[in-house]
Chains A and B, each alone.
Chain A
Amino acid sequence: MSAITALRNLPNTASGRAIRLGRRLVANYVLRRLIKALITIWLVVTATFFIIRLMPGSPVEIYIQEQMSLYGMSYDDARAQASAMFGIGLDRPVLFQYFDYMGNLLRFDMGTSYKSFGTPVISMVAKFLPWTLFSVGLSLLLSFTLGMLLGMITAYRRESLLDHVLSTLGSIFSSVPNYLVAMVIIVLLGGYWRILPIAQMRGSMTPGIEPGFTPEFIGDILFHASMPVATYVLTTVGGWMLTMKSSTIATLEEDYVTAARARGLPDRRIMTAYVGRNAILPLVTQLAISVGFIVGGSALIENIFVYMGVGKLLIDSINQRDYPVMQAVFLIITVAVILANLLADLLYSRLDPRIRTGGGGEA
């Protein structure tokens, strides 16, 4: 029984109306996705807490041991210091520690760095996060748009030389691990052939330039971001292209396309509103997976290009055993991906009206 018919059979009492409202909310796709995202975030946060705190060889315990052996502190002193470091009240029962932790998080307090003593983690994250958002966001935009266009072109010009060349190139670059592509760019283009000034392209911006919406600054950050962005785009565009190509081919065979031609609609209109708008839907569902992949890869790419994003921060903190930072960055990265997924889901519901009315299947 569909939601609509179920709604109709309820009496028009206050409780009936409440149940109707409840049912309509549950059927609402947007709300469902939002709730799912929140639950996932909560799960990740909780899991991170317990891993950090409770796993054998947990960083907290290690830290305490280190403090005791290196500085000869007593257990209580070491523990008190760890409390301050991690932002957890270690002398209280675990459940209260958990609540403390959650409370701190909601106030954006993630403790202080272990290595850079005294620096609040949140400020470090705030310094590095924008760069990752910038490079990843730009890359996704470029890669998606390019992949979509090339996909449609190769679908309309199936079996042509262009199709074969593009598909082969796309396939090659998508199969090779992205960090290898990054290395090759640096080593070949930078080190061997000296085409790119890699020494100057290091980092996310040239120190000394005033941040702002000036062409000088924007040009500079694009200069520094060009290699990471090129790597992300090169290694993902092939996948988009292939998906769009097969999706377009499938859509071209749909009845509404034939019917549109029967109505004498111009080819341009058919290509955009009838084929394009429908063929793009599978790509949007892939968007979510792609975000996770690029952000995951940023740990390596940023490391290789010495780009000051959270990926680099994560790896650095792991190598330095800077647990508070590690914990925070991991959380941020994961939450960012979950939110990006949510956005992709919402975008999909905007594009496909069949999903919106609650009767459609999951995206």
Chain B
Amino acid sequence: MSILTRASRNVLYDLGRTLKLLTHNRVGFVGLLGLIWFILLTFAGPSLVPLSQESSMTEIYQPPSLAHPLGTDFQGRDIWAQIVHGGKDVLIVACITGLISTTIAVILGSLSAVLAGIFDSFIMWLTDIWLTIPHFPVLAVLAAFVKLDNVWLLAFILSFLSWPTLARAVRAQVLSLKQRDYVEAARALDLGTRHIIFSEILPNMMSYLAISLVFSMTSAIYAQVALVYLGLVPFATNNWGVMLSLAWTRGAIYYRDALLYIMAPVMAIALFQLSLVWLTRSLEEVFNPRLRTSV
């Protein structure tokens, strides 16, 4: 059996075990449900709910009704439809960022732990420096110079900011696993670095990687929405961040009728973040048995 098949079998087994543990924890289960709901909403929803771009001056800031479950915005457009259509960008960027930064973090972090020596010191020094620099100002300044109109470019830059924290955590995990017996055995049998990483260490870190992935997603969402809100990212489509920005600048503070227009994206983003974070709570329990409350 090749290394990859064996590794993927371990991964699947681990995922199955993880799912079971996830549903066992109440908070985690709610988080999982929330995540599924949002994925359905933003990817399946648009085909069910039509989005109209026309403005209707007679329907500005209408209260919720059957036709407009969340009311209308400053141009009379349906808010609910905007919410349904507006999550895609956010989720896609979050996913891509999460994947990129987790991949970089895993590769550099585990190599750093396994190879040790100068490579390790260098990577650690790099992450150290990176961690002492405040991230959002860097992003904001970068956005001033680089046109972040491309989803991939945005994701790449965002992931560039979050991989150091993850890499450190991955390295710590790998270091602790490195001491375990089965790794010592593999090393004694001279099975090679690649085998050690993929077949012995990684499968045991799957849940941990899942947590890291989710966390990088949450920070990507934070940064992305913030950049859009501040107007530092030129936006073409209407997404939650854009809704936020428009609602704010159109004076949602002053018009009481505009409450829903601003609260809708706020709640959408907040609930999505919550779902992600709650999902990790149960994953955390997997690693910190002290936090477990029952058997």
Tell whether A pairs with B.
yes
Interface residues of A (CB under 8 A from B): 36-37, 40, 43-44, 51, 55, 57-59, 159, 171-172, 174-177, 179-180, 183-184, 186-188, 190-192, 198, 246, 249-250, 288-289, 292-293, 295-297, 299-300, 303, 314-315, 318-319, 321, 326, 330, 333-334, 337-338, 341
Name 28 A/B residue pairs within 8 A (Cβ), A-sorted. Answer: A59-B145, A171-B27, A171-B281, A174-B277, A175-B274, A176-B274, A177-B270, A180-B269, A183-B244, A186-B253, A188-B259, A190-B253, A191-B256, A191-B259, A192-B256, A288-B131, A288-B132, A289-B131, A292-B132, A296-B137, A299-B136, A299-B140, A300-B229, A303-B230, A318-B143, A318-B232, A319-B231, A326-B144
Interface pair B248/A341, CB less than 8 Å apart: no
Given A172-B274, A333-B137, the answer on whether A179 and B226 have CB atoms closer than 8 Å is yes
Please report the C-alpha to C-alpha distance between residue A174 and residue B136 in the assembled complex, in whole angstroms. 17
Least CB distance from B285 to A in Å reads: 11
Residue B252 lies at the interface, judged by CB distance under 8 Å to chain A: yes
Q: Which of B133, B222, B293 has the most chain A CB atoms closer than 10 A to its own CB?
A: B133
- B132 and A315 form a contact (CB under 8 A): no
- By secondary structure, the B interface counts as helix
- Residues of chain A contacted by B218 (CB below 8 angstroms): 175
Q: How far is the CA of A51 from the CA of B128 in the complex (A)?
A: 21
Identify which of B131, B141, B144, B225 contacts A177 (C-beta below 8 A): B225
Note all chain A residues with C-beta closer than 8 A to B266.
180, 183-184
With the chains together, A198 CA to B254 CA distance in Å?
10
Mostly, the A contact residues are helix
The residues of B that contact A159 with a CB separation of less than 8 Å are 293
Q: How far is the CB of A86 from chain B (nearest CB, A)?
A: 15
Which residues of the other chain, A, contact B244 by a CB distance below 8 angstroms? 183
In the bound assembly, the distance between CA atoms of A183 and B140 in angstroms comes to 20
- For the complex of A and B, the 4 pairs showing the least CB-CB separation, nearest first, are A296-B136, A296-B134, A175-B277, A176-B270
B290 within 8 A of A: yes
A197 to chain B, nearest CB (A): 13
Cα distance, A312 to B158, chains bound together (Å): 22
Count of B interface residues, CB-CB < 8 Å: 48
Closest Cβ neighbor of B256 among chain A residues: A192
User: Whose C-beta in chain B lies nearest to the C-beta of A193?
Assistant: B256
Contact indicator B132/A337 (Cβ below 8 Å)? yes
Question: What is the distance, in angstroms, from B71's C-beta to the closest C-beta of chain A?
Answer: 14
| Chain A: CB-nearest residue to B221 | A177
- Having A183-B262, A318-B144, A321-B144, one finds 12 other A-B pairs with CB under 8 Å, namely A174-B277, A175-B218, A179-B229, A188-B263, A191-B256, A288-B131, A292-B131, A296-B136, A300-B226, A318-B232, A326-B144, A330-B138
Interface residues of B (CB under 8 A from A): 27, 128-129, 131-138, 140-141, 143-145, 218, 221-222, 225-226, 229-232, 244, 248, 252-256, 259, 262-263, 266, 269-270, 273-274, 276-278, 281, 288, 290-291, 293
CB pair B140–A318 under 8 Å, yes or no, is yes
**Distance between Cα atoms of A191 and B136 in the complex (Å):** 28
Residue numbers in A under 8 Å from B255 (CB-CB): 191
Known pairs A171-B281, A177-B273, A246-B288; A183 contacts B135 (CB<8 A): no
Given known A176-B270, A190-B253, contact A337–B231 (CB-CB < 8 A):
no
Residue of A nearest to B269 (CB): A180
Interface centre among A43, A250, A337 (most CB of B within 10 A): A337
A296 touches B135 (CB 8 A): yes
User: How distant is B256 from chain A, measured CB to nearest CB, in Å?
Assistant: 6
Known: A176-B273, A295-B134. A318 touches B141 (CB 8 A): yes
Which residues of A have CB within 8 Å of B273? Answer: 175-177
B137 touches A334 (CB 8 A): yes
Question: Which partner residue on chain B sits nearest A39 by CB separation?
Answer: B129
Q: A40 and B129 in contact (CB under 8 A), knowing A249-B290, A314-B140, A333-B134? A: yes
- B276 contacts across to A, CB distance below 8 A: 175
Pair A293/B134 contact, Cβ less than 8 Å: yes
- From A174, A250, A292, A299, B133 is in contact (CB under 8 Å) with A292
Cα-based distance from A43 to B141 in the complex (angstroms): 17
CB-CB < 8 A to B138: which residues of A?
A: 330
